[in-house]
Amino acid sequence: MTDKIYEIVSRVLNIPISQITEDSGQEDMEAWDSFNVYVLLDEIESAFNVRFNLDETIEVKKVSDLRNLLKRHGAV
């Protein structure tokens, strides 16, 4: 089974799922820009039915940050 986070990142940023790792993020993905990251967060929130606070939102720089946040909210 493919990882749900990867699936969403792949769909929202339009990147093949095979290219996504825990370290993927603003450093190595062009599509991960200052706007798209918020679109991505918005979709992650709907998909996992959570809501991050403002500071958490700003923290997210790569996929592993997303996973940690979701863990903190008990969503994964």
Chain residues in the site for other proteins (CB under 8 A): 11-12, 14, 34-36, 38-40, 42-43, 46, 53-54, 57-58
Neighbours of 46 (CB within 10 A): 11
Neighbours of 54 (CB within 10 A): 7
In angstroms, give the least distance from the CB of 19 to other proteins: 15
25 has which bridge partners?
Answer: 62
In angstroms, give the least distance from the CB of 55 to other proteins: 10
In angstroms, give the least distance from the CB of 67 to other proteins: 19
Nearer to other proteins, 15 or 76 (CB): 15
Q: State how far the Cα of 12 lies from the Cα of 28, in Å rounded to an integer.
A: 16
